[in-house]
Amino acid sequence: MNPELQERIHALWDDLADMDATRFDAIADRLMVGLCELVNAQNACWIGSVHLSDAFPEDPVKGWRAIVVRYLYPTQPLDDGAKEQLKNLYRGVADETTVVNVAAAGHFRANRLRDLVSDDWFGSDYYRCYYRSVGLSDAVFVAFPINEDSESWFGVYREIGKPDFTVEERAILAYTLRGLKWFHRQLMLNHGLLIASAPLTPAERRVLELLLSRASEKDIGVTLGLTVNSVHQYVVTIFRKFGVNSRAALMSLWLGAT
């Protein structure tokens, strides 16, 4: 890797570290923009993946599920496709790319589509439905294990008409994401996928962000257009999901985990 490119990656790391730590989605977006700029990609997504204990015997991915999928530039077809694939997983139907990638769970890994499948796969119905039909031609997936039951994934995409990703570009993305363990943990924690007893809802995440900024429940209500009683109920639920009983304990947990 040439020194100029390495400096760009380090500058991106510094940008992320300097951002307001409670602005989780903004930090994730900044990272995905940076990833796209580094390899001339057109879109990216973050996937929060967890290992469920209630997997059925024929489960092709052994209980692993993408609980959160967040695109940098979302479209209705992309969102619909992600939801449809998750439904298929619960029915025991998984594409070869997913099965091969999940088989290495627990290890940091970066794969292009061509690293996972043969050339014949690019003529499959799956590729036509979930790539070509939404304007995509290629992808690199980087998976960062957080613990034995959770992984943080980033997908980076090229549009139709662009060249396929090279081995060198795969290495750039792997290097960039490999050095961000603190961020992967924080992102998973923010979505309730690391410590919380259940994933947080979008409304709970908005309240959590303001809780960590030390805003009062009254101020949170004004900001979000909620009654104080509604805010308090959200706070109680958040505390319960994280197994704490005060804001101080929540912040201590957060700081300790990041």
* Euclidean distance between CA atoms 48 and 83, whole angstroms: 14
* Euclidean distance between CA atoms 192 and 242, whole angstroms: 8
239, burial (CB in 10 Å: exposed 0-12, middle 13-18, buried 19+): middle
- The lowest-confidence range among 2-16, 80-94, 158-172 is 80-94
Q: Please determine, for residue 44, whether its predicted confidence score (pLDDT) is greater than 90.
A: yes
225: left (phi over 0), alpha (psi -120 to 50) or beta: left
Q: Are residues 109 and 14 in the same domain?
A: yes
> Could you give the residue ranges of the DSSP H alpha helices within the chain?
3-18, 24-39, 76-90, 96-102, 113-116, 125-130, 167-178, 181-190, 202-212, 217-224, 228-242, 247-257
Question: What pLDDT band is residue 102 in, cutting at 50, 70 and 90?
Answer: very high
pLDDT in tens, 211-258: 877 789 999 999 999 999 999 999 999 888 888 888 888 877 766 554
Please tell me the total count of domains within the chain: 2
Given this model, what pLDDT does residue 53 score? 63
Region 42-50: mean pLDDT is 94
Residue 47: inside a domain: yes
Q: In terms of pLDDT, which residue wins out, 148 or 44?
A: 44
Residue 192: inside a domain: no
Q: Please determine, for residue 21, whether its predicted confidence score (pLDDT) is greater than 90.
A: no
Residue 187: inside a domain: no
Tell me the residue range of the domain where 170 lies. 3-181
Q: Are residues 111 and 216 in the same domain?
A: no
Region 1-6: mean pLDDT is 89
Given this model, what pLDDT does residue 60 score? 86
Q: Are residues 113 and 241 in the same domain?
A: no
User: Bridge partners of 64?
Assistant: 51
Given this model, what pLDDT does residue 197 score? 62
255's CB contacts (< 8 A; 6+ apart) are none
Judge whether 218 and 230 are in contact, CB under 8 Å: no
CATH number at residue 236: 1.10.10.10
Q: Are residues 156 and 206 in the same domain?
A: no
Mean pLDDT of the chain: 89
Question: What pLDDT band is residue 54 in, cutting at 50, 70 and 90?
Answer: low
DSSP, collapsed to helix, strand or coil, labels residue 30 as helix
Q: Are residues 131 and 212 in the same domain?
A: no
Residue 215: inside a domain: yes
Given this model, what pLDDT does residue 258 score? 41
Residue 191: inside a domain: no
50's CB contacts (< 8 A; 6+ apart) are 64, 65, 67, 149, 150, 151, 193
- Scored b (16 or more CB within 10 A) or e, 145-179 reads bbeebbbbbbbbbbeeeeeebeeebbebbbbbbee
pLDDT in tens, 142-194: 999 988 888 999 999 999 999 999 999 999 999 999 999 888 988 888 777 77
User: Bridge partners of 138?
Assistant: 158
Judge whether 84 and 134 are in contact, CB under 8 Å: no
92: left (phi over 0), alpha (psi -120 to 50) or beta: left
Tokens for 52? Answer: 């469920």
